[in-house]
Amino acid sequence: MTATTTDHRHACPTLPAARGPLSAGLLAALAVPHQDPPPVREAVEADPYGEDLHLALYTLYELHYRGFAGVAEDREWDPALMPLRRALEERFLGALRADVPAGRNTDEAFGELLVESTDHRDSVAHHLEHEGELWQIREYAALRSLYHLKEADPHAWVIPRLRGRAKAGMVAIEYDEFGAGRAENVHAQLFADLMTDLGLETRYGHYLDAAPAAALAVVNVMTLFGLHRALRGALVGHFACVEVTSSPGSRRLAAAMRRTGAGPAAERFYAEHVEADAVHEQVVRREVVGGLLAEEPHLEADVAFGSDATVYLESRLAAHLLKAWRDGRSALRRS
């Protein structure tokens, strides 16, 4: 992993390397106009948490963000691609619904998050705070860049689907995420500054080929929830889970940055989230979640599902990272 001075805000990603027949077929279809994508049956049969499916889904979703160099912008809603995207989403969402506890309410889902566990064996933040080496922090930042360089964007898609208190609360938090009117304080920019301190490339999407499926799934789920109006409750649950758990985790990661001498911008990103997300946690639970359920109480199970699915996928990523690091090897697919 090497650093450059590339401006991540304006760079257009290149198409990634394939990870199997499904992603290979899709990438070929995107590279050549009018070429058919893989048949839907390949998505139906794919591992719902596997490398091939999640790279294909990530690639299709990226057409809604920055797109790719050499891929026409009108491929975003290309009717030829929609059946494949739908099949990939259904495969992934079906697996999540099977693996995440069903029928929970928001008190159950968020109540667990508000109490920090005393068992830290599965905590990446705790590991980095107390034991993590600088190379592990750099790997963590490289992988999280796929999330943090677009973090607030998919959450913004839910705003036109909300009303009243929920909309007002969501916009208030998003305003902070987007820098409160100052470009240098946009949280994606703060994360790019963190990457610069760590000697990483800040170009948007640069570490896609290095990211394992567990990391891609964490990014894909927030786009999945954000793009579909029917999943607005799950998106609010995802957003609430992130805000509720951010402050204590950020405190540990800020300490990790200090201990390893990662740099002032690296420490600042997480230090900013300790205080800001402690406030956001109150707003999101009382106004965003509370306001949504006051208007649409039938969405409570969806909100809980969105939160629980987020915890589940983050736990899978944490298990991947910690196993690799404790074995003394890289957690990246490629160095």
Q: Do both 267 and 119 map to the same domain?
A: yes
Give the side-chain half-sphere CA count within 13 A for 61.
27
Q: Do both 150 and 276 map to the same domain?
A: yes
Q: Do both 110 and 33 map to the same domain?
A: no
Tens digits of residue pLDDT in 286-304: 999 999 999 999 999 999 9
Residue 26 resides in a domain: yes
Residue at a domain's end among 97, 117, 150? 97
Question: 86: domain range?
Answer: 21-97
pLDDT of residue 230: 98
Token pair recorded at residue 231: 């999943």
Q: Do both 49 and 163 map to the same domain?
A: no
Residue at a domain's end among 77, 97, 117? 97
**Over the range 288-300, which residues count as b (16 or more CB within 10 Å of their CB) and which as e?**
bbbbbbeebeebb
Residue 220 resides in a domain: yes
Comparing C-alpha atoms, which of 205, 106, 224 is closest to residue 157?
Answer: 224
Q: Do both 111 and 260 map to the same domain?
A: yes
pLDDT of residue 5: 42
Q: Do both 64 and 191 map to the same domain?
A: no
Q: Do both 87 and 164 map to the same domain?
A: no
Q: Do both 27 and 162 map to the same domain?
A: no
pLDDT of residue 272: 83
- The C-alpha atoms of residue 262 and residue 333 are separated, in whole angstroms, by 23
Torsion of CA 207, 210, 216, 218, to 10 degrees: -80
Residue 2 resides in a domain: no
119, 131 Cβ separation under 8 angstroms = no
Q: Considering its fold, how many domains does the chain have in total?
A: 2
Q: Do both 213 and 302 map to the same domain?
A: yes
Q: Do both 50 and 184 map to the same domain?
A: no
Q: What are the residue ranges in the chain where pLDDT is below 50?
A: 3-6, 8-9
- The C-alpha atoms of residue 115 and residue 10 are separated, in whole angstroms, by 40
Report the predicted TM-score, pTM, of the whole model to 2 decimal places: 0.93
Residue 277 resides in a domain: yes
pLDDT of residue 8: 45
pLDDT of residue 202: 95
Q: Do both 207 and 136 map to the same domain?
A: yes
pLDDT of residue 185: 87
Task: Specify the CATH number for the domain of residue 270.
Answer: 1.20.910.10
Place of tokens 């739908």: 86
Q: Do both 52 and 178 map to the same domain?
A: no
Residue at a domain's end among 53, 78, 97? 97
